Amino acid sequence: MKVQHFLNKKSIETPEDITLQLQLFAYLIAKHYGISLTEVYQMSEEIFSQSLVWAMAIEEEEKKTMERARVSSDSGSSEVISLDYSFLNFEEDF
């Protein structure tokens, strides 16, 4: 199946991959906002981009929340300390 093969890839390599990536983004938006793919494809480029950014940001926050809950339940404690390593993404090579 093309989609499964695409999801297992680590990078976009072909023009078909670009099409599948756009379809994935459209799916994420539709799922997040509870709208149809037709409605997503009718969005302007600006609205599509902004909707995608918000959908991805909220998805990331939900993953963090779920991970905190998992760690909390595994440890038997309600206190969980999260470490933020996002600053590593902004370091420049010297």
- pLDDT tens-place string over residues 39-71: 999 999 999 999 999 999 999 999 988 888 887
- pLDDT tens-place string over residues 17-40: 889 999 999 999 999 999 999 999
Calpha distance 93→76 (Å, rounded): 41
Smallest CA-to-CA distance from 55 within 31, 73, 88 is with 31
Calpha distance 56→72 (Å, rounded): 24
